[in-house]
Structure 1
Amino acid sequence: MGTGQGTALTAMQIPIRGVLFDKDGTLIDFQKSWGPVMRSLALRFADGEEAEALRLMIAAGYDPATDTYRSGSVAAAGTSVDLCDLWRPGLAPDRRAATIAEIDAHFARGAIDHAAPVCPLDAVFSVLEAEGLVLGVATNDATLSAELCLEALGVRHRLFSVHGWDSVASAKPAPDMVHAFCAAADLLPAEVAVVGDNLHDLHMAAAAGAGLKIGVLSGNSRREHLERHADIVIEDISCLPAVLSDRRRLAG
């Protein structure tokens, strides 16, 4: 557990009324969903040269030994802006903007073709909805790409709002997406549980004053990466209804 007992007890008295989910690694399987997309994008940036594409992927956080992307890496936690600046540093402003748009468009197409859920999302969302919780998504993906992904998974209608990096002034780990969700849903940050698989999700939650910080092990991070920064760590979001039910029971 992350904070002192007195703070935790005070927080326990505030009911959770909303849940804000990260997307990649939390709702969708990161490697199955983004592995092929990142590889095809790297090949595009490398003009089809396999060795250069691999170099770009490794720079973005790819580990060839495990065929996964590292926790906190640009691929796992960054935005299209971060990836552009990593792969094409020093571009003139107009060329940089065009490259960011190109990356976003590539990701939007990939969101439709490769999205693979970590568990039956609609079943989890329907249980949370039945408990009266407002659901949203906060992602460092672009908003359009996230919307297309969630539509393809058949769960967009369950979500009150979707916030991408381009919908707020500052992306994660800044608190902007939590604040945007709260403003849209008429919630206080202390009434929101933030759920994510990377430290930037938990840091965003802490910066915003979220009521509950929940780490999941379905993405790029291991338990030791998350547990010092989360109030609780769970295997994946299928465990979430029980966790929130226990919190309500303990709060009396």
Structure 2
Amino acid sequence: MAIRGILFDKDGTLVDFHKTWHAIGDRLALEAAGGDRGKANDLMELAGYDFEAGRFRGDSVFAAGTNADIVALWYANAPQDEHEARVRHFDAVTAAEGARSAVPLDGVLDALRDLHKRGYKLGVATNDSEGGAKQTIQAIGVAHLFVAAYGYDSVARPKPAPDAIEAFCALTGFAPDEIAMVGDNRHDLEMARAGRAGLAVGVLSGTGTQERLAPLADVVLSSVRDLPAYLAG
């Protein structure tokens, strides 16, 4: 069946992951370390930051996980009530600061406008919070192009589970094989496979590599900016 709806990951797919998130992650790590710079660096590395390369590793906790995952990693011995409070704090900080710092990837906004004009129904499926997703697409000026924005807290199970695809199908009335899932990490493509999406698209604009994405993808593109031409062709 023809593709009618497209779900996009957010960070590394629509916005520049490293330009948007390094400073925010570092701030939260320094907070978790009680102001100790060395310990904060250790926490950043634990969450997936490669200091030698100056970037986050693909499929790492910070690149592909949820705020709850990061809190569990950095505050491993926290009791449940503190864990929940920390997650709420992380959600609030990352939603506000992620939107304020969001840097759209080159050519992506034009591509989204093109796809919307062609009649595709567009959605966001991210392991950031729903608030973070909505605030970011509002901040970069494309919220009106999307019919849905799903965060890890919007569904019972976040990526790589298929819940966001199932929710998008329920909203649009499309069958799973009419949906394309686009993302820069294996979690995105694993969700596409689990949800029986009609098209799994890997993009190299974030933290993922050709070698890691290709085994799960139907196609690997350099960026979302190449998607309109691919779908047209």
- Residue equivalent to 1:79: 66
Give the alignment partner of residue 175 of structure 1, picking from 162, 179, 195: 162
Structure number, greater radius of gyration = 1
Residue 188 of structure 1, CA deviation: 0.9
SS at 2:131 equivalent: helix
Matches within 5 A, 1:15-34: 15-34=2-21
The Cα shift of 1:47 comes to: 1.5
SS at match of 1:39: helix
Q: Any residues of structure 2 matched to 1:118-137 within 5 Å, and which?
A: 118-137=105-124
User: Are residues 1:141 and 2:141 paired?
Assistant: no
Task: Name the structure 2 match of 1:47.
Answer: 34
Contiguous gaps of at least 5 residues in structure 1:
1-13, 247-252
Partner of 1:61: 48
Distance (Å, rounded) in 1 between the aligned partners of 2:215 and 2:82 = 41
Aligned equivalent of 1:165:
152
Q: 1:165 & 1:25 partners in 2: Cα distance?
A: 16
Secondary structure of residue in 2 paired with 1:243:
helix
Cα contact 1:134–1:160 (8 A) shared by 2: yes
The sequence identity of aligned pairs, in percent, is 44
SS of residue paired to 1:162: strand
Shift of 1:101: 0.6
Distance 2:27 2:61 in 1: 16
Q: Normalising by the residue count of structure 2, what TM-score does the alignment of the two structures yield?
A: 0.98
Structure 1: distance between partners of 2:100 and 2:197? 33
Q: Does 1:191 align with 2:178?
A: yes
Deviations 1:69-98 (A, max 9, x none): 111100000001100110001322211110
Letter of the 1:177 counterpart: A
**Alignment match, 1:93:** 80
Q: Distance in 2 between matches of 1:195 and 1:132?
A: 17
Q: Match for residue 201 of structure 2?
A: 214
The one-letter code of the counterpart of 2:102 is A
Q: Report if aligned partners of 1:173, 1:200 keep a CA contact under 8 Å in 2.
A: yes
Give the secondary-structure state (helix, strand or coil) at the position aligned to 1:66: coil
- 1:120 Cα offset (Å): 3.6
Backbone CA RMSD of aligned residues: 0.8
State the Cα distance separating 1:48 from its structure 2 match.
Answer: 1.4
- 1:176-217 CA deviation, whole Å, 9 max, x = no partner? 011111111111110001000000000000000000000000
Q: Under a length normalisation based on structure 1, what TM-score does the superposition of the two structures give?
A: 0.91
Tell me how far apart the structure 2 counterparts of residues 224 and 118 of structure 1 sit (CA, whole Å). 22
1:30 and 1:130 map into 2 onto residues whose CA distance is 26
SS at match of 2:14: coil
Name segments (4+ residues, structure 1) moved above 4 Å. none
Q: Is the deviation greater in 24-33 or in 106-115?
A: 106-115
Displacement of 1:31 in angstroms is 0.3
